[in-house]
Amino acid sequence: MVAPSQSRPPLGLHIQPACLQHKYIRHANSNHIFERPERLRAVLLGFAGALARLEAADAAEAPKPEPESDDLSSMLSSLSLGSTSAFLPPSHVAIVPPPTPPATPGQILKHHPAVQITHSPPIEAPFPFLPKARGAALPSSEYMKELYTWASEAVETIRTTGCEFPQDKGLNAGDLYLGPGSVLAIEGCVQTVCQAVDGVCTIDAAAAIQEPRTPVQNVSAVPPRPSTPQADPTPAPPAYNKAFCAIRPPGHHCGEDEPSGFCYVNNVVVGAMHAYLQHDVDRAIIIDFDLHHGNGTQALVMPLNAASYAEDLAMAAGKPPSDLRGLKGQRRGWKGFYGSVHDIYSYPCEDGDLDLIKDASLSLAAHGQYIENIHLQPYDSEEDFYKRIYPMYTALLDKARLFLRDTEADPERTVVFISAGFDACEHEHQGMQRHNRRVPVSFYSRYTRDLAAFADAHTGGKVVSVLEGGYGDRALTSAAMGHAIGLLGREGAPSWWSVEELDNLERATKKKKRGGKLAALPPDLTSTPHLARAHALLSHFEGSAPVTPAPSVNATPQATANGRMTLRERRPRTYAEDTDIWSSSPRDTGRRRRGAATTANTPVATPRRNADGKTEDAYPSPVSSPTAVPPEPKIEAPAQPKLEAAPVQPKLEVPSEPVDYASPISEVSDASENPKIILKIPRVTPPREEDVSSVANGAARAPVSAAPPVAARQDPPKVAPQAVRPSAPAAPVPAPSALPKTVTTAPVVAPAAAPKLEAPAKASNPATPTTVAV
């Protein structure tokens, strides 16, 4: 390890919850959008993992105190199987509450001085804008007004044209999106960076956690920051001199008057202008390591340098120097150094635009310009990277030293800004790493540590790091872990960010399927102290309550609330059971009131009955404090439908008397209460012997004369219905050979028509269903 954490001030960690308001609303599918503010969780996970490892390393190196007494009883009394310690804040970082957002969205975009200077053409004299200059006017950015309009009218514009950006602007809508919440997110980024600048540049420790000096008010869209204790009015050393801003959207692609590459406001340049206006910091060193060239930052720094250089030439020609005084002496013009390590084949140079390629390859230290660009190079192994490639990247620091010498920089008036992009990490997904220009994870630890050492030597240790690129969760987590360790001037071990360790870290901090909150620590990881600590730190960073880890299978049974250990947990009696909550008199505790609550956290389970017929819980409820709890709402079972008896089915009966084919097929009796359907089945009469004999001998039939008149059909007399009984078997029909051969010819009778099926008359009883004859 490099230096013990006790000898260094903590790192200021700035988390801005308003960034989550920046959402893609063009349509439901946003899988093609690489940049999402939700990825900030992976960055915070990397910081949690780094701090957990550093705390474990410090604890291992710290000398263990000798016990004061060897008394066995005193040693045993210090043991507690069921004790749980409260959450301990991290010792290496100071979590800075977010600044209060403006009462009306858009105030910062339209009126913040640093934003207006950054995104406006450079004004002439006096330049840059000096708040106390006579006759000086604050520039107004037209682009900021357009940006506010695009975001606030995004819903209606998308409904009309399908895109929130004007079609005549020529913007690439594939890597840009806005919504109504984007204004809060972008303004939150500006406030957070300015707050970090205030923290590292102020002498008063209380002012280190104050918000930017732009007057703002509270708004309900973002949770307000927690109150901070009153500081000692006497001057104190800074609470921190290095800060990291976990913010999105990024900013280093945004130029003067148009957004680009997910960037809408150049956060780093705004921070540099804020440091100049509010803290008289007139020299800024901007180091940008990212897969993509920060073309927007370079395009903003160069005009500012040119205006300051022109003022120097005028003064050299005889112009009297300004008599304005700043906070730290005579006011000077702002000058900045921009150095970048990036991939020349990736955006914005991927399409082969010659002007962009020239800008991304510029190396200039003349005419008041201090620009240095270095391209990422492939390597064979990590050993090859540090032997052959890494010295090329550290050449930026040599160029920065030249800038400090030529511009007569004052350490008290100089700040190092880092545009920290993590998309060149070896774990970045292939969709972004199309040209395989990567760096190992250890690069972020070692390179950041070199930058921190440079700041300690030349700027009084003042560093403000701002998150830029990084679009894969594992790349963000591992690179942020190394970056945090480097900002603290420490050196991590390669095993800390190995693939196996990253797998465990991601598994230990999974989110719940519903709600997206941090889940409990898996049981098999509770025995790993640094993973349990990283889990608790991430919960602290996200502002949620500590999540109770799932019990380990190898853990010692915990003591109950009363300090006694039991073989099984019994359901505790609560105040609501022992006392009638509707009156002050004690109640009968032998039987619980229906619907009364047992414990506020008791799970809902299907009750079961014991041998006495009383209901009991399916499983014991957790231990609760003996406080009155409100009764649960009484749940009444829905009324069961009234069951009625089915209607009596009609009884089928067959008359005992035979009927002919012309008889009715059915008939309904007069009984209305119990209707009966009478089936009148005709009985077949066997043929006579003489008829069969005549047919067998082939006797000629007698001619049939005119048929006698058919008498009118008469209905048979009604016969009282009888119960159906098994009928006697019919007489067997004799064989044709056994019949006599002489028979008389019987007259031919036409067959009767088929019986007509009719439905019986509808019974008068409405409860009896209508029966259809079969």
Q: Which residue has the tokens 């590459």?
A: 261
Could you tell me if 459 and 528 lie in one domain? no
Q: How many CB atoms lie within 10 A of CB 161?
A: 11
What pLDDT was estimated at residue 127? Answer: 58
Q: What share of the chain is helix, strand, coil (3-state, %, to 5)?
A: 30, 10, 60
List the beta strands (DSSP E) in 110-160: none
In a domain, residue 728? The reply is: no
> Comparing C-alpha atoms, which of 380, 411, 412, 418 is closest to residue 396?
418
Reduce the secondary structure of 511-532 to three states and give it as a string.
ECCCCCCECCCCHHHCCCHHHH
In a domain, residue 36? The reply is: yes
Structural domain of residue 541, as residue ranges? 498-548
In a domain, residue 385? The reply is: yes
> Comparing C-alpha atoms, which of 6, 52, 29, 39 is closest to residue 533?
52
Q: In the numeric block, which tokens belong to residue 258?
A: 């148009």
Could you tell me if 466 and 347 lie in one domain? yes
Could you tell me if 445 and 482 lie in one domain? yes
What pLDDT was estimated at residue 215? Answer: 37
Q: What's the rounded Cα separation, in Å, for the pair 128 and 138?
A: 10
Could you tell me if 401 and 518 lie in one domain? no
Could you tell me if 269 and 334 lie in one domain? yes
In a domain, residue 575? The reply is: no
The count of structural domains within the chain is: 2
Could you tell me if 207 and 308 lie in one domain? yes
In a domain, residue 175? The reply is: yes
In a domain, residue 749? The reply is: no
| This model's pTM is above 0.75 | no
In a domain, residue 693? The reply is: no
CATH number of the CATH domain containing 105: 3.40.800.20
CB 300 within 8 A of CB 260: no
Q: Which residue has the tokens 């901070």?
A: 228
Name residue 667's beta-bridge partners. Answer: 678
Could you tell me if 373 and 516 lie in one domain? no
Q: In the numeric block, which tokens belong to residue 771?
A: 């029966």
CB 484 within 8 A of CB 537: no
What pLDDT was estimated at residue 757? Answer: 46
What pLDDT was estimated at residue 658? Answer: 45
- The answer to whether the peptide bond before residue 249 is cis (omega within 30 degrees of 0) is yes
Could you tell me if 93 and 36 lie in one domain? yes
Could you tell me if 431 and 503 lie in one domain? no
Name residue 365's beta-bridge partners. Answer: 370
Could you tell me if 415 and 523 lie in one domain? no
Where is the domain boundary, 454, 477, 493? 493
Please state the φ and ψ torsions of residue 408, each to the nearest 5 degrees: 50, 55
Q: What's the rounded Cα separation, in Å, for the pair 270 and 181?
A: 21
Angle between helices 295-316 and 267-279 in degrees, nearest 10: 30
Q: What's the rounded Cα separation, in Å, for the pair 176 and 187?
A: 17
In a domain, residue 488? The reply is: yes
What pLDDT was estimated at residue 66? Answer: 64
Could you tell me if 21 and 135 lie in one domain? yes
Could you tell me if 452 and 531 lie in one domain? no
What pLDDT was estimated at residue 541? Answer: 93
Q: What's the rounded Cα separation, in Å, for the pair 172 and 195?
A: 31
Q: Which DSSP category does 168 fall into?
A: G
Q: What's the rounded Cα separation, in Å, for the pair 72 and 598?
A: 42
Q: Collect the ranges in the chain with pLDDT lower than 70.
A: 1-7, 65-85, 124-137, 203-238, 545-774
